[in-house]
């Protein structure tokens, strides 16, 4: 049995300081970290409990009209906060599509951002080939079961997907992650645009994000709400609840009558990070929302897809999910493909 020390941080500076000790990790709700520890996938020496730091558990408005969601806000509280529900319904829908109500009551926003992949070969230490868990050991999923794995942006080193629903909505909304740490700038703080927060696997699949060692996520900032009227989060999964996405789509539109002024589309369940469908967005921007064009845009979003032997179905599934999510975001519930 491994000895693990436990320390409760009282403030951000104390948490960052404590995290400099060898083998230290932050613990938020613990819904992912403790599972990984029980399975021997994560073996920290020190747990730094951040859940008692004051000031990180609130949702506040920003001078620019956006909002700041503290890293310790529980997923259920974030989903049901009036500002989020009314101004960022896409995010509320994505939160509520994730996990179960019991888990959402524990899970924090910061922890959700850093939850690790659900690749079975990563989560089970009986498998010895996993570049994410044991760098240089190989990737069992390449020749093994890969039905749930990536079709975009993967590498020969790793084909895992990011499992977070919340993060797909944050990608579409162009959120910004606020972090504090020893090397985070003169004030010990820096911001990371959401598109730069999660990484593609490349030749370092063991690194999920651009967060530096010992950096604490303090909040997520959302820009002013532009998409409150027309947004939809669509999650396609093997069963109706308590399952990770095979494919998900966060669609957010600014509409001028029948025209799309601005489209934002992000995909989940298809890549190592939430995947912005920029080509599809560009094909829809400034255009009337015609079904033929929408199908072309969905095809463009998957143009670079490279499926594995068990998951070619995801390509068409993602295309259809984009069409459906965009139609639903536009308020079109009839005649959608």
* Residues binding ligand FAD (CB under 6 A): 25-33, 35, 50, 71, 98-99, 103, 106-108, 110-112, 114-115, 163-166, 216-217, 242, 244
Binding site for ligand SF4 (CB under 6 A): 117, 119, 121-122, 130-132, 139-141, 158-160, 205
Partner residues linked to 180 by β-bridges: 189, 216
- The Cβ-side half-sphere exposure at 46, using a 13 Å CA radius, reads 15
50 binds, among ligand FAD, ligand SF4, none (CB under 5 to 8 A by kind): ligand FAD
Shorter beta-carbon distance to ligand FAD: residue 143 or 238: 238
Shorter beta-carbon distance to ligand FAD: residue 35 or 310: 35
The CB-of-148 to ligand FAD minimum distance in angstroms stands at 12
115 binds, among ligand SF4, ligand FAD, none (CB under 5 to 8 A by kind): ligand FAD
31 binds, among ligand FAD, ligand SF4, none (CB under 5 to 8 A by kind): ligand FAD
Shorter beta-carbon distance to ligand FAD: residue 32 or 146: 32
The CB-of-162 to ligand SF4 minimum distance in angstroms stands at 11
Shorter beta-carbon distance to ligand FAD: residue 50 or 226: 50
CB 81 within 8 A of CB 89: no
141 binds, among ligand FAD, ligand SF4, none (CB under 5 to 8 A by kind): ligand SF4
DSSP string, 80-122: H-HHHHHH-HHHHHHHHHSS-HHHHHH-BHHHHHTPPP--HHH
C-alpha 258, offset from chain centre: 30
Burial class (CB within 10 angstroms; exposed 0-12, middle 13-18, buried 19+) of 186:
exposed
Shorter beta-carbon distance to ligand SF4: residue 130 or 329: 130
Phi and psi at residue 177, to the nearest 5°? -95, 130
Tokens 């009227």, residue located:
229
**Residue 112: C-alpha distances to residues 22, 103, 106 (Å):** 24, 11, 11
The CB-of-141 to ligand SF4 minimum distance in angstroms stands at 4
Q: And the tokens for 319?
A: 């295309």
Phi and psi at residue 67, to the nearest 5°? -135, 155
The CB-of-267 to ligand FAD minimum distance in angstroms stands at 14
């Amino acid at each position: 049995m491994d000895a693990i020390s436990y320390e409760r941080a009282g403030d951000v500076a104390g948490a960052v300081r404590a995290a400099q000790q060898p083998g230290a990790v932050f613990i938020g709700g613990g819904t992912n970290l403790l599972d990984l520890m029980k399975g021997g996938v994560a073996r920290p020496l020190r747990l730094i409990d951040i859940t008692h730091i004051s000031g990180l558990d609130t949702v506040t408005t920003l001078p620019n009209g956006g909002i700041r969601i503290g890293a310790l806000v529980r997923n259920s509280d974030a989903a049901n906060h009036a500002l989020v529900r009314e101004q960022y319904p896409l995010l509320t829908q994505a939160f509520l599509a994730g996990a179960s109500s019991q888990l959402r009551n524990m899970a924090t926003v910061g922890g959700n951002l850093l939850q690790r992949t659900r690749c079975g070969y990563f989560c089970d230490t009986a498998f010895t080939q996993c570049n994410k868990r044991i760098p240089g050991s190989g990737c069992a999923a390449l020749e093994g079961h890969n039905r749930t794995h990536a079709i975009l942006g993967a590498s020969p080193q790793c084909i895992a997907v990011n499992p977070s629903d919340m993060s797909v909505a944050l990608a579409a909304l162009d959120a910004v992650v606020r972090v504090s740490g020893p090397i985070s700038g003169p004030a010990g703080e820096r911001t990371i645009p959401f598109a730069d927060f999660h990484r593609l696997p490349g030749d370092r699949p063991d690194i999920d994000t651009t967060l530096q060692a010992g950096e604490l996520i303090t909040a997520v900032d959302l820009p002013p709400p532009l998409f409150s009227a027309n947004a939809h989060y669509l999650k396609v999964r093997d069963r109706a609840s308590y399952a990770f996405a095979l494919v998900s789509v966060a669609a957010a539109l600014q509409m001028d009558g029948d025209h799309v002024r601005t489209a934002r589309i992000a995909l989940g369940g298809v890549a190592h990070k939430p995947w912005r469908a920029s080509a599809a967005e560009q094909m829809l921007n400034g255009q009337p929302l015609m079904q033929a064009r929408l199908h072309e845009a969905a095809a463009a979003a998957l143009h670079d897809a490279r499926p594995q032997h068990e998951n070619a179905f995801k390509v068409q599934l993602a295309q259809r999910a984009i069409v459906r999510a965009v139609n639903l975001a536009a308020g079109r519930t009839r005649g959608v493909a």
